Amino acid sequence: METKTYKVEGLSCIDCAGRIQASVAHLDTVQRCEVDHATGNLTVWVTTPDFDVTPVEKIVADTGHTLVTERHRHKLEPVSNRSSIPLVAFTRFLLSKRDTTLTTIAGVLTLLGLIATRLPLPTFWSITAFALAVILGGFPVTRHAFQEIARVHSLGINTLMVIAVAGALAIGEWAEAAIVVVLFALGEALEGYATERARGALESLLDLVPPTALRILENGVTKEVPVEHLRIGDDVRIRPGDRVSVDGIVKTGQSAVDQAAITGESMPVDKGPGDEVYAGTVNTFGVLEVEVTQLAADNTLNRMIALVQEAQARKAPIQRFVDRFARVYTPTVALLAVLVASVPPLFFAQPFWGVGGWLMRALQMLVIACPCALVISTPVSVVSALTHAAARGVLIKGGATLEILGRVNIIAFDKTGTLTEGHPVTTDVLNVCTVAGCNNGLQYAAAVESQSSHPLARALVTEAHAQHLTLLPAQNVSILNGRGITGNVNGTTVTVASHPYFDATVPHTDIVCREAERLAGEGKTVILVGHDDILTTTPQVCSVFAVADRPRAASPEIIADLKTLNHIRTAMLTGDSSTVANAVAQYTGVDTVYAGLLPEEKVEIVREMQEGKEEEGNIENPKSRSGGLRNAPMTVAFVGDGVNDAPALAQADVGVAMGGAGSAQAMETADVVLMGDDLRQLPFLIRLSQRTRQTVRANIIFALAIKSIVFVLAASGIATLWMAIVADVGASLAVILNGMRLRI
């Protein structure tokens, strides 16, 4: 069985989605069909690989929508074609489809009919205009009502509208019937237009990738080819000012690349040989030659957008509740309308026909029974929030995750690569040699360490390069059983090792010991360098180095910001030593530290936090010794690197991966991926979740309030049929526009 996914353009109504789903599911070659009104996605499980999509296109077209089977670059669908004047763009949208064109004509006829009623003309002309408006504008509505009854076997909004319009015609309210038809159809079109614009913000990211690339041929000449024709291992040239067309590795050239579309970083990132670049980013000043590492369909931007689209289809708990409520709400109101139409005339001798009759009041209630505003209130907000986060380089995998983020009580961090930069650097270089004029410690150390792949060795070599020291050749280099390294440089035996090794083998002054102990107390790794004294040929300690994985500069500010949000507590869970962990905690301001942990111990601590059984960490940050909640269940977010911390990420209520742009492991492991490894996005995420929850709550309350008010007015005989339509359409548009604010 094969799965295929298409886009239904302009889909926003749950009734339309239900009709399409039921019809497509009955096709012979379709095993199962799902249509999501929130994302506009139509997914079919088919029994044959050569599936013919034509019947699906016809079914979708019958509902007044268009099935998009293939997205064409730089040729967005009309609804997403943004004009500088919204009215012009919406008018273009109305005239792009048959059903909406009929609505436009019906609107013109209704306007002419209203004008005719104000002129000294026979009523024949106004009634004719209204009748034609009802026929033309009501044709799509009637067709959809038939589909609701015949295919879905449900009482949808189109069926309710047909009943309401027929009732208005029955009592001679021609103008009322025409206005209702036009307003309803216009409102449906406007909802679809606004919803599609909300979705279009994410899909428009695909246009950041140029459709062609300059492939470098064997003779060095470039040829422009479609990016889909590139294969892994091909070389492409990226000129200054060009958008990068592929995911790849820089082979030659130096430049800076603006990665804002992928990672959200505001400043361009320097790129040179060996560095990764990503499709959709912008090369600024230098020519780069890049080796392709991913096919066009699998580049980081495509994978990122696919994950967000999948996330949009995962309903938040509140959204599932609203959908269930709407299924009960509509038939309940319809039943109530039947009672309103029948009980007063039958038992209390009240008028049935006429403008003030109970039939008209019941018809108004049928219009109010439309659940569109209620159903769309949540998904449009969630889609907008997920799109906003993606534009900032943050992937949130679903509305449920977005909802949970706003309830987080404690955020637990891994240390290495999360609160710290993830790679050791040389922080201190001290010359302690007693021989006058000796200042070769770093140069000697770099000479022997250049033949080692250890991270600490690389830190010393990098520091030597930074100080523009010449890298001397070293001979007879050997490892000291994991405690250090030794070799011959310029005829001198050089040893690079730990302080304990030198304590045991090479006499040195108290000054060396004091400096080594001071640096170790700061949570740094201490390295000593010794070489033979030129005069006495006895070993001498000439330099003391300190190497550390530096905390991210923004970490203290981020931790402080998080503590202002819902009194969030912070914890560090690390496998590193207590001394190093405590030093990082002192700098960052983390509340509680758990050090020396194995991966399974991290999982256990996260579980204890969730169950409210957390005890004090084996080290408590002195700044925050007094408190933190205990013995209360917590909603826990864990922030890690997405690979080594996979068990803890899975255990936490929300797993946040410092994925780095394009990290496939991080994308698959966590609930949230920070594409730019930027912890500053954490406070943004919490605030976005809180804003989304507030917006969804406000939308639901507003939609129910509007319907309740109009319901009361209808029951009292004060409302009119067109007022009910305006209230319903207005409520739908209001919640859509309010939800779209989350894109900002």
CA-wise closest residue to 524 among 466, 576, 450: 576
Residue that has been written with the tokens 């600490």 in this structure: 456
Alpha-carbon span 408 to 689, nearest angstrom: 10
- Active-site residues, by number, are 414
DSSP class per residue in 568-583: -EEEEE-SS-HHHHHH
How distant, in Å, are the alpha carbons of 418, 601, 691 from that of 684?
Answer: 17, 29, 10
Residue 509 DSSP one-character state: -
What residue type is 76 in one-letter code? Answer: L
Residue that has been written with the tokens 């000796």 in this structure: 438
Q: How many residues in the chain?
A: 744
Strands (E), 266-358: 269-271, 276-277, 282-283, 288-292
Question: Which residues share a beta bridge with 655?
Answer: 638
Alpha-carbon span 318 to 394, nearest angstrom: 22
CA-wise closest residue to 698 among 395, 445, 381: 381
- Cα 107 to chain centroid distance, Å, stands at 40
Residue 558 has which token pair? 């981020």
How distant, in Å, are the alpha carbons of 87, 235, 275, 465 from that of 249?
Answer: 45, 9, 6, 23
Question: Which residues share a beta bridge with 571?
Answer: 412, 592
Alpha-carbon span 304 to 512, nearest angstrom: 52
CA-wise closest residue to 654 among 669, 632, 633, 676: 669
Q: What secondary structure, in 3-state letters, does 421-435 show?
A: EEEEEEEEEEECCCC
Question: Which residues share a beta bridge with 479?
Answer: 485
Question: Which residues share a beta bridge with 545?
Answer: 429, 527
Residue 127 has which token pair? 């009634």
Residue 743 has which token pair? 């894109």
Which residues, other chains included, contact 599 with Cβ-Cβ below 8 Å and sequence gap of 6+? 575, 644, 645, 647, 648
Contact 439, 433 (CB under 8 A): yes
What residue type is 81 in one-letter code? Answer: N
Residue 640 has which token pair? 């890690």
Alpha-carbon span 733 to 702, nearest angstrom: 12
Residue 414 has which token pair? 């891994």
Alpha-carbon span 42 to 19, nearest angstrom: 12
Burial class (CB in 10 A: 0-12, 13-18, 19+), 600: exposed
CA-wise closest residue to 415 among 547, 597, 635, 637: 597
Burial class (CB in 10 A: 0-12, 13-18, 19+), 140: buried
Residue 682 has which token pair? 């954490």
CA-wise closest residue to 573 among 607, 550, 548: 607
- Cα 524 to chain centroid distance, Å, stands at 37
